[in-house]
């Protein structure tokens, strides 16, 4: 069963299913992030690991571009 949409993606503007939403640790916007690679859902960001706390955090694509792109581990400031 497909969940109802919660709002528009803060990156691309398309509607999102509640099961595939992440919240950016840097700007706070909600964006598409799939947890199941078999689903045809685009990713408008990614998850990373904070090396200090060993916790996961989520970053939207605009913040990734602002913070320097391809690095895999970012430190929130």
Question: What proportions of the chain, in percent to the nearest 5, are helix, strand and coil?
Answer: 15, 30, 55
- Of the pLDDT bands very low, low, confident and very high (cuts 50, 70, 90), residue 76 is very low
Outline where the chain has alpha helix (H).
61-67
Contacts of 16 (CB under 8 A, 6+ apart): 5, 6, 7, 8, 9, 30, 31, 32
Per-residue pLDDT of 13-50, as tens digits, reads 999 888 889 999 999 999 999 888 788 888 999 988 88
What integer pLDDT is reported at residue 6 of this predicted model?
63
Q: What letter does residue 71 receive in the DSSP assignment?
A: -
Q: What is the mean pLDDT of residues 54-67?
A: 92
Q: Rounded to two decimals, what is the model's pTM?
A: 0.74
């Amino acid at each position: 069963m497909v969940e109802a949409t919660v709002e528009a993606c803060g990156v691309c503007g398309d509607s999102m299913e509640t099961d595939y939403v992440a919240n950016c640790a840097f700007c706070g916007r909600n964006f598409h992030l799939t947890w199941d690679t078999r689903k045809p859902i685009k990713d408008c960001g990614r998850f990373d690991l904070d090396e200090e706390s060993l916790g996961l955090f989520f970053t939207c694509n605009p913040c990734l571009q602002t913070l320097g792109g391809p690095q895999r581990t970012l430190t929130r400031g």
